[in-house]
Structure 1
Amino acid sequence: MSTPRRTRDQGFITPLRPTAYLLHPDPDELSPAQVFHQVAHGFAFTDVQNLLSATTQCDEQQVWRRILGQPQSRQRSRRRLRPARLTPQQSAIALHYACAVELASEVFGSLALAEVWLVRPCFYFGGELPLDMLSNAVGFQALKVYLQQLAYGVYA
């Protein structure tokens, strides 16, 4: 499903983390300022495409529409052009998606369960889809806090 990579210490192959598709070479080695500069420069279209191919088991078009900020009809015609890089806003949404998938996978135990959760209305968010919360920093922060509460067993 996802692109394998060899870990340094154990020598066995593990799947690539979602954020690793966007933040090269290793997301954990980047400072927040370096992450900001990568987002400001815009992620490569192919990197986002690889991320979605590896993580999206539900509806990849649904995620693309949210990242690109376009209705489906415009998004299809725009896909033919395939820009080399996403805009900073689109890149920020793609990074929010990768981080959300990563955190939700840890909380729910699998990528499949995380993706099902992302596309279903959530009572905590007033019936909004968690996927829709990723379009801005405030929504992403709310989603992150909620997932952290679930991870620690705090149900508010």
Structure 2
Amino acid sequence: MSTVTTASVPRVRKTLRRPTEVLLHGRKGDTRLSILKFTNEGFSLSAVKDMLALSALYMEHDLVQRITGKSIRTVQRLAKETGSVRLNPQQSAVAFQYAQVLEHATEVFGNQQLAEDWLKKPCKYLDGNVPLELVDNPLGFQVVEDYLTRIEHGVYQ
């Protein structure tokens, strides 16, 4: 029987990054006006894909399609053909909304797994809508954010 010491087992360190930090690439996005500036410039497709890769739920639901309005294969082809693809301001704003909702839900529910579980299930207080399906619409995004804030403050109805 052999024993394995901890020194012989390589450790994988997972860096915990916030979804909005991935999109912003370390740029300061501490005000709505600065975020507006960055979304108007357009996020790179690779940054959006990296942000989506932080969430099993986001990968499972192929949100790159919802954000870009293009099929997965078209997005893959564009990324290969043109190198660095930038999203337009509308697509970038939607990507930021998904990043922000995931962060806010993670803060409210205490961990990302609980946040993802909540995001994918119909919610009675959102008229039976699935929160994840509301995020790509600016008004739907605001409804989800408002409800998360209410949960945060203990006001469920």
**TM-score interval, normalised by the smaller of the two chains:** 0.7 to 0.9
Q: TM-score, normalised by structure 1?
A: 0.80
- TM-score, normalization: structure 2? 0.79
90 and 2 in structure 1: CA distance in 2 versus 1, 3 angstrom threshold: farther
Q: Does the 8 A contact of 1:3 with 1:16 survive in 2?
A: no
Q: CA deviation at 1:3?
A: 6.1
Q: Could you tell me which residue of structure 2 aligns to residue 57 of structure 1?
A: 56
With over 3 angstroms needed to count, the CA separation of the structure-2 counterparts of 1:75 and 1:143, relative to structure 1, is same
Q: Which runs of 5+ in 2 are unaligned?
A: 1-11
Q: How does 1:1-156 map to 2 (within 5 A)?
A: 4=15, 15-27=16-28, 30-54=30-54, 56-58=55-57, 60-62=59-61, 63-70=63-70, 74-82=71-79, 84-156=85-157
Give the superposed CA RMSD. 2.2
Which structure has the greater CA radius of gyration? 2
Q: Deviations over 1:37-96 (max 9, x none)?
A: 110111011111111112x112515222221234xxx33233221261112111111100
For residues 122 and 101 of structure 1, the distance between their equivalents in structure 2, rounded to whole angstroms, comes to 16
Amino acid at match of 2:76: R
Q: Equivalent residue of 1:135, what SS? A: coil
1:7-62, Cα deviation, whole Å (9 max, x unpaired):
xxxxxxxx22111011232545x4322211110111011111111112x1125152
Query: Structure 1 vs Structure 2: percent identity of aligned residues?
Result: 37
In structure 2, how many angstroms separate the alpha carbons of the residues matched to 1:46 and 1:122? 32
Cα shift at 1:136: 2.1
Q: Report the CA distance shift for 1:135/1:85 in structure 2 as closer, same or farther (over 3 A).
A: same
Q: How many pairs were matched up?
A: 141
**In the superposition, relative to structure 1, how do residues 38 and 81 fare at CA in structure 2: closer, same or farther (>3 Å)?**
same
